[in-house]
Amino acid sequence: MSATSVSAHGHATHVGHHELGFWRTYVFSTDHKMIARQFLFLGLFMMIIGGLLALVVRWQLAWPETAVPGLGWLLTDTGGVLEPAEYNMAFTMHATIMIFFVVMPILAGAFGNFCIPLMIGARDMAFPFLNMLSFWAAAVAGVLMLFGFFVEGGHAAAGWTSYAPLSAVPEYTGTNWGQNLWCISLFVLGVSSMMGSINYVTTIINMRAPGMKLFRMPLVVWSLFITAILLLLALPVLTSGVAMLLFDRTLGTSWFKPSGGGEPLLWQHLFWYFGHPEVYILILPAMGIASEILPVFARKPIFGYHAMAFSMIGIAFLSWVVYGHHMFVSGMNPALGMSFMVTTMIIAVPSAIKTFNWLGTLWGGRIRFTVPMLNALAFVWMFVIGGLSGIFMASTPVDIYIQDTYFIVAHIHYVVFGGSIFGAFAAIYYWFPKMFGRLTNPLLGHLHFWGTFVFFNLTFFPMHIIGVGGQMRRIYNPLQYEFLQHQQHWNVIITIGAIGLGLSQIPFVINFFWSLFAGSRAPHNPWNANTLEWSAPSPPPHLNWGPTLPTVYRGPYEYSSPESKEDFLPQWQPSPGRVGAGRH
Amino acid sequence: MLSWWLPENVATFGGEIDWLFHLIYYITGITFILVTVTFLSFIVIYRDRPGRRARYTHGNTPLEIVWTVVPSLILVVLTFLSVPAWSKIKMSLPQTDFVVQVTGKQFNWQVTYPGPDGRFGTPDDKTLLDEMHVPVGKPIRVNLRSEDVIHSFFVPSFRFKQDAVPGREIPTWFEVTKPGKYEIPCAELCGFGHSGMRAWIYVHTAEEYAKWAAANLAAQAPVAQTAQAKPSAAKGESDRR
């Protein structure tokens, strides 16, 4: 351990010193790039499970109380028909897995690990051994979470928000060990996030290459930096919350149980004090990724670099003072609703700034429609819809009606799927050549993108409509309600969209594995990009660079600069013509 | 397009919520159209064509100030317009002599009337299961409670929603403008029977209500039993899973 942590600090003498064995290279690796790949595989594997659970939920809502195709072998006593308790378990685990084991591992885990050292010109993370522990803690958390499917009484079924006392008393849901494992798994994941985020913050503050000033950092590094600070402050609140919940369930404490003098709303305060920053933990890295990819394929500098960085800082700051907008009708003092409405409205402003700056980046560009670019463009457009629908909930009176309907489900999926997942796909296609040293197949990439884009909108847009019609989220059978009968055809359309969305991922899986083994070899800089990672070989060797670290001469977005004949001017190249380091 | 899908509003404050909903709907709709037109035209106009170099610019401060200030002003106005409706619905309780207690319990709504003595917790209280009767055109005070987990009392046609939290009693109110029969789902996940936790609210004219109250809320039991028999039959049907 000491050898790796010393070499990580950039001692040239250690470069290429030792050959590592199989276990130290592929399993218990302390190399940030291998840890990034491990997080990516964890996230993609869990995405399959989370996605299949979503299809089960959708089948039930479109054709209630009919057998789900292919589930007969699992639900033998009903022949594949879901019981209400199993339905609750399916959507609870869909959300838990997608948020904690897909989006966070892929965006913060994989691309945080991959991009930060390579883009700031460091040899590795500040604490490589801690970095390895953070992955293995996340993997253990994932195993614990999946194990919950096999325990007696089934998995947690109280929603991903696990509102107490429903989650605090086993009799109320009928699940016992499933909910306990949910708590334990998220506790372990919280520890993993702590280790990861301490590493990110320390690395970015201390280990930037010569010339890499804070305001020369690529925006994706800015976004990951701010995400890490949010993780560092938000996750411990959830971690303590789930520990208290577990104590209520198993040790007889009464934090959240009114029968013993506890307060159910305390859970909601703790949960959303974590949960709202969490939304930005999920979306900020995707914003950074879009800000990174748009300039590369528009061949233009990002529009308003400083405004982009400061708006992210603003979002992070405000994310702490808006959490109460999840609790407008919770029984919290309504006077508090007023102040939370004000802050919630304000947080829309930095998001608007970012959107207009992305449009400004496209203006006057030479846009190349590569697969990463298409995904980044889709991110921007879908984020606009998700952001605008958020304004409905910010207005407290409208939220009274909208709260807990499918309108919320539509909104969160436009932000987290339309935003974070499109951002993740953009990042995977963009950095794949650097990560694995091979190019992906553009035809399969286009097929994947267009299928995902079309079916995504077919799935999630109509959810706004049934939500406005009053359909509640988390109900087992919409046909039980007279006032929902007339809009059942939308549930069928949404489910067909969801099935299409699932099938659209097949070209991605084929492309990913085919390219991994048989794609053509990637050059150093296949996209003609400016940032430091493209100066290293593809894939970069252990410790990333040769004996000397790169020197940074300018900001990351000098595309089509008059200083250079080429339409890009990398950060690591000394000025070709005039003396001076460009802007920033 | 969305607004056509709102259920009919029959509550006094529902109009204010619908008005705000439509206002936000038009503001966000216009913003969405403007952004989309700009976005798509940039994508078409500035697509990669040979012989042209991208414009080298790092930004435009006056432009950035404009697109920061304009959304801020719109959002400030929206906030101020939302305040009166919120104060009226959640922060004030109109004077009324009509008070019922609604208790959520896995998986029913128990509706308790104080009985002839006008007080709760006395032997003449009348409790109905999954059935509520109120007169039209009169503010109704609902004291919302829960016996086990968090439930949410939702009447889509009244634009009314309030969580029922165990351990506290939350006073709320509404006033209905049109007689009829309206559905009350539970909007907060409360366990495996959550989806079947639904009740009906019957809104009567003043005379009809007086007749119903005389028959069902008066001192003795036989009539009250008929009132209980009906909803449990309806419940058996809705609970079929």
Taking the CA of residue A326 and the nearest CA in chain B, the distance in Å comes to: 12
Chain B touched by A575 (CB under 8 Å): no
Residue A149 near residue A182 (C-beta atoms within 8 A): no
User: Phi, psi at residue B171, to the nearest 5°?
Assistant: -80, 130
At residue B102, the 3 state secondary structure works out as strand
- The answer to whether the CB atoms of A303 and B58 lie below 8 A apart is yes
Instruction: Give me chain A's average pLDDT, please.
Output: 93
| CA-to-CA separations, A388 to A308, A414, A512, B217, in angstroms, rounded | 19, 10, 33, 49
Per-residue three-class SS string for A318-377 = HCCCCHHHHHCCCCCCHHHHHHHHHHHHHHHHHHHHHHHHHHHHHCCCCECCCHHHHHHH
A438 beta partners: A521
Q: From the CB of residue A213, how many other CB atoms can be counted at a distance below 10 Å?
A: 10
pLDDT of residue A581: 46
- The answer to whether the CB atoms of A468 and B20 lie below 8 A apart is no
At residue A480, the 3 state secondary structure works out as helix
B127 beta partners: B112
Maximal CA-CA distance, chain B? 93
User: Tens digits of per-residue pLDDT, A9-30?
Assistant: 444 444 445 677 888 888 899 9
Segment 280-339 of chain A within 8 Å of chain B by CB = 298-307, 329-331, 334-335, 337-338
Per-residue three-class SS string for B219-232 = CCHHHHHHHHHHHH
Q: What residue type is A220 in one-letter code? A: V
Maximal CA-CA distance, chain A? 78
Residue A529 near residue A568 (C-beta atoms within 8 A): yes
A-chain residues near B189 (CB < 8 A) = 88, 158-159, 163, 166, 474
Q: What residue type is A225 in one-letter code? A: F
- The answer to whether the CB atoms of B78 and A391 lie below 8 A apart is yes
Q: How far apart are the C-alpha atoms of B14 and A206, rounded to whole Å?
A: 56
Taking the CA of residue A174 and the nearest CA in chain B, the distance in Å comes to: 8
Reported as half-sphere exposure (CB side, CA atoms, 13 A), residue A168 has a value of: 31
Residue ranges of chain A whose pLDDT lies below 50: 1-16, 579-584
Tell me, what DSSP letter sits at residue A472? B
B-chain residues near A85 (CB < 8 A) = 192
Residues 6+ apart with CB under 8 A from A43: A101, A102, A103, A104, A105, A106, A109, A110, A424
- The answer to whether the CB atoms of A472 and B183 lie below 8 A apart is no
B100 beta partners: B142
pLDDT of residue B5: 84
pLDDT of residue A76: 85
Q: How large is the C-alpha radius of gyration of chain A?
A: 24
Interface test with A, best of B37, B82, B158 (most A CBs within 10 A): B82
| Closest partner CB to B183 (pick from A84, A356, A481) | A481
B153 beta partners: B162, B186
User: Tens digits of per-residue pLDDT, A374-428?
Assistant: 999 999 999 999 999 999 999 999 999 999 999 999 999 999 999 999 999 999 9
B-chain residues near A174 (CB < 8 A) = 191-192
Q: How many residues does chain B have?
A: 241
Residue A33 near residue A113 (C-beta atoms within 8 A): yes
Q: Is the N-terminal amide bond of A539 cis, ω within 30° of 0?
A: yes
Copy the structure tokens of residue A345. 């409205």
B-chain residues near A388 (CB < 8 A) = 28, 31-32
pLDDT in tens, chain B (241 residues): 556 789 999 999 999 999 999 999 999 999 999 999 999 999 999 999 988 899 999 999 999 999 999 999 999 999 999 999 999 999 999 999 999 999 999 999 999 999 888 889 888 899 999 999 999 999 999 999 999 999 999 999 999 999 999 999 999 999 999 999 999 999 999 999 999 999 999 999 999 999 999 999 876 544 444 444 444 333 333 333 3
- The answer to whether the CB atoms of A403 and B194 lie below 8 A apart is no
- The answer to whether the CB atoms of A369 and B47 lie below 8 A apart is yes
Residues 6+ apart with CB under 8 A from A179: A156, A157, A158, A162, A167, A170, A173, A249
Question: A461: part of which helix (H) or strand (E)?
Answer: helix A442-468
B-chain residues near A345 (CB < 8 A) = 75-76, 78-79
A354: nearest Cα among A426, A293, A295, A287:
A287
Q: In what order do the strands lie in the sheet with B126-129?
A: B126-129, B108-113, B99-105, B140-146, B170-174
Relative to beta strand B198-204, strand B180-185 is antiparallel
Q: Residue written as tokens 């889509």?
A: B156
A-chain residues near B149 (CB < 8 A) = 163, 165-166, 169, 172
Tell me, what DSSP letter sits at residue A99? I
Q: How far apart are the C-alpha atoms of A265 and A256, rounded to whole Å?
A: 8
Residues 6+ apart with CB under 8 A from B72: A346, A349
pLDDT of residue A165: 94
Taking the CA of residue B79 and the nearest CA in chain A, the distance in Å comes to: 6
User: C-alpha A444: how far from its chain's center?
Assistant: 23
Residue A348 near residue A411 (C-beta atoms within 8 A): no
Residue A393 near residue A411 (C-beta atoms within 8 A): yes
Q: How far apart are the C-alpha atoms of B33 and B67, rounded to whole Å?
A: 16
User: Tens digits of per-residue pLDDT, A143-158?
Assistant: 999 999 999 999 999 9
Residue B64 near residue A353 (C-beta atoms within 8 A): yes
Q: How far apart are the C-alpha atoms of A108 and A52, rounded to whole Å?
A: 23
* In B91-203, alpha helices (H): none
Taking the CA of residue A477 and the nearest CA in chain B, the distance in Å comes to: 7
B-chain residues near A84 (CB < 8 A) = 192-196, 241
Copy the structure tokens of residue A369. 């429609």
User: Tens digits of per-residue pLDDT, A80-98?
Assistant: 999 999 999 999 999 999 9
- The answer to whether the CB atoms of A388 and B90 lie below 8 A apart is no
- ∠B226-B228-B229 over CA atoms, to 5°? 65
Q: How far apart are the C-alpha atoms of B227 and B215, rounded to whole Å?
A: 9
- ∠A277-A278-A281 over CA atoms, to 5°? 95
Question: Roughly how many angstroms between the first and final C-alpha of chain B, as a whole number?
Answer: 35
| Closest partner CB to B17 (pick from A157, A345, A398) | A398
